[in-house]
Amino acid sequence: MNEKSCAPTCKVEDWASIDWNKACAYVKKLQMRIVKAQQEGHYSKVKTLQWLLTHSFYAKALAVKRVTSNRGKNTAGVDHELWLTPEAKFKAINKLKRRGYRPQPLKRVYIPKKNGKLRPLSIPTMTDRAMQTLYMFALEPLAETYGDPNSYGFRIGRSTHDAIEQCFTDLNKGKSPEWILEGDIKGCFDHISHEWLMENIPMDTQVLQKWLKCGFVDMKQLFPTEEGTPQGGTISPTLMNMTLDGLERLLKERLPTKQYFNGKTHFNKMNFVRYADDFIVTGESPEFLREEVLPIIREFMAERGLQLSEEKTVITHIEDGFDFLGKNIRKYNGKLLIKPSKQSVSSLLKKVREIVKSNKSAKQDSLIRQLNPVIRGWVNNQRFVVSAEAFSKIDYQIYNCLWQWAKRRHKKKSRRWIAKKYWHCIGSRNWTFAAEERSKKRNKELSYFALEYATDTKIICFKKIVAEANPFDARWNGYYEERDGEKTLNSTNGREKLLKVWRNQHRCCPVCGEPITSDTGFKVHKVFRHGKSPWLEMVHPECHTVLHKNDACFVAPGSLTGTF
């Protein structure tokens, strides 16, 4: 192997001196070469490039950065080790070696599910997470190349919105199929066959086997793992996707769209949409789905050690509607409407009520700061469907909840006094739940920190990703750049000024120099310099936090926040 191709570690002395732009470009180039070699049928070259990627300094550094900047960075494994300092992160790069590598058992914890049951979650150590991320860099290009066209879960540049938009495309026409098979796999992560993974996953099988057989610790006891991939491992979603990939192609091969019987053309109207382990299959009749589609799916699953959940796998008519990914899809008098599901609305209101109930004596601005991210996140997820009615209901229910909160605090005050204290006229809204605050930077002018209202969010049309798009194929580079631009425009409510700022920054964060994408999200930072006009910068959320800690310049209150 040509060691000159690897990153020159001698030039990097500490964590701060790593050129992250160069690291990202180096890894992305190798990933694109893997896709090109695979498409050309050079399979030995694919293995060589995968080896080069998993042994390169830059890929290891990016793997460490990935696991130390996500939400689980403060959660340790069985060794109780965390990489919180730059010195620890830089030292961790040298730990990512294949020779002598032996993963430690997983730490088993349980998290509550919506139905009240507990979901087992297995947490690897920091070293094992970084190793899995490193090998995921080499595996993802192949997963994207051979992934099902209409698979949208845990894939780069794809989201639930793409899956819902595909459902709309398949079901909105007058001649569209009217019957839907809602499929759900029973314990998908926990029951994938190890034998199937070892025979079919194109990666280093010795390393893969170590991960699959490392066991887990529960109640201070060590248990073996005979099947499944750990929920909590960074590479597990990719392994799960590759396990289920091929189902769409198999259905289309066995049940082509056009079939001929007695000299007549017969259309079976079959479509397939999958998000992680949830999927739907459309058909012209319940008999077709039950007698022809289901046996093929069960056979496909059994080969991989999986089986369908009999409780959640049902066949539904489009006029009765069905819930999928937090949306309700149903035809009303022949017109297809996709709305937020009742369960999704109820979950949001339940969370809001819990926050309000747990802050009976909190200040108004503190309560608003806890509510805004919850409301904003839910609304941003539902703004691409028919949500106006649901948004109005949400605002009304939140108003009632806050009114009771205010009345409880001031039992001897009149309604008018309570309304005047907590609700204000801001813009075109007469009743805005907002806290008064005086800015130290603006000559003590009175301003308001307001609650975000669902109905203030504009409902827009979502543009679905092209099914064949591959983020590691050079032919699609321009498409992904344009798509990121469109997402940015949507996330900033159509403000061309912020889109221009993003492009002037070459789509990168001015603090860390890394790209601002749909996965990273952004915050808008207002910069003031003495004697100069203020200007805007788009930065990563974590970089914005750093700027706040030792800020030499003023950050405008209420800075814009978004995700593409």
The pLDDT tens digits for 83-102 are: 999 999 999 999 999 999 99
* Cβ count within 10 A of residue 516: 24
pLDDT at 497: 67
pLDDT band at residue 139 using 50, 70 and 90 as cut-offs: very high
pLDDT at 220: 87
* Cβ count within 10 A of residue 470: 21
Which segments of 40-159 does DSSP mark as H helices, in order?
43-54, 57-67, 86-93, 126-146
Q: What is the mean pLDDT of residues 358-375?
A: 94
Mean pLDDT check: name the lowest of 125-134, 484-493, 516-525: 484-493
Q: What is the mean pLDDT of residues 244-263?
A: 82
pLDDT at 501: 82
Checking 65-72 for CB contacts under 8 A at 24+ apart, the result is 65/20, 65/89, 66/130, 66/133, 66/234, 67/126, 67/129, 67/130, 67/133, 67/234, 68/126, 69/542, 72/123, 72/129
Tell me the C-alpha distance between 153 and 147, whole Å. Answer: 11
Give the pLDDT confidence of 451-480 residue by residue, as tens digits: 999 999 889 889 999 999 999 999 998 888
Q: 319 by DSSP, 3-state: which? A: coil
The alpha carbon of residue 6 and the mean position of all alpha carbons in its chain are separated, in whole angstroms, by 31
Tell me the C-alpha distance between 196 and 303, whole Å. Answer: 8
DSSP state of 224: -
Nearest by Cα to 498 from 482, 487, 512, 511: 487
pLDDT at 11: 74
Mean pLDDT check: name the lowest of 37-46, 115-124, 177-186: 115-124
The answer on pLDDT for 1 being more than 50 is no
Q: How far is CA 240 from CA 187, 276, 404, in A?
A: 11, 8, 46
Tell me the C-alpha distance between 250 and 149, whole Å. Answer: 12
pLDDT band at residue 545 using 50, 70 and 90 as cut-offs: confident
The torsion angles phi and psi of 294, rounded to 5 degrees, stand at -60, -45
pLDDT at 422: 95
Quick one: what percent of the chain has pLDDT higher than 90? 65
- Token look-up 């309000």 returns 356
Please state the length of the chain. 564
> What's the Rg (C-alpha) of the chain?
26
Q: What is the mean pLDDT of residues 313-322?
A: 96
**Furthest-apart CA atoms within the chain: distance in Å:** 85
The answer on pLDDT for 215 being more than 50 is yes
Give the pLDDT confidence of 324-339 residue by residue, as tens digits: 999 999 999 999 999 9
pLDDT at 557: 34
Torsion angle in degrees (nearest 10) through CA of 107, 113, 115, 120: -20
Average pLDDT score, the chain: 87
Q: What is the mean pLDDT of residues 292-317?
A: 94
Quick one: what percent of the chain has pLDDT higher than 70? 88
The alpha carbon of residue 49 and the mean position of all alpha carbons in its chain are separated, in whole angstroms, by 28
Residues linked to residue 274 through DSSP beta bridges, in sequence order: 151, 279
Nearest by Cα to 330 from 279, 385, 258: 385
Higher pLDDT, 109 or 116: 109
Higher pLDDT, 437 or 226: 226
Buried b (16+ CB within 10 A) or exposed e, 199-208: eebbbbeebb
pLDDT band at residue 527 using 50, 70 and 90 as cut-offs: confident
Q: Is 442 exposed, middle or buried (0-12, 13-18, 19+ CB in 10 A)?
A: exposed
Contact 467, 544 (CB under 8 A): no
Nearest by Cα to 168 from 288, 282, 292: 282
Tell me the C-alpha distance between 400 and 193, whole Å. Answer: 51
